[in-house]
Amino acid sequence: MLKVSAYCRVSTDKDDQANSFESQQKYFREYINRNPEWELVQIFAEMKIA
């Protein structure tokens, strides 16, 4: 089993970016879960407000 993590980043506080942040997390969870040889360990997240 390969342990994997993901990194999501948003650099503004605009509404569409907040949705992007949620979408990124959802994408990585689903992508990693589709591979039975991978185990999601953590999603690193950075919200950098400009």
pLDDT given for residue 49 in this prediction: 63
pLDDT averaged per 10 residues, the chain (length 50)? 93 69 92 96 82
Domain tally for the chain? Answer: 1
pLDDT given for residue 13 in this prediction: 65
pLDDT given for residue 16 in this prediction: 64
Closest to 10 measured CA to CA, from 26, 23, 29, 28:
23
Q: What is the full DSSP assignment across 7-49?
A: EEEE----HHHHHHHHHHHHHHHHHHHT-TTEEEEEEEEEE--
Q: Domain span at residue 8?
A: 2-47
pLDDT given for residue 47 in this prediction: 74
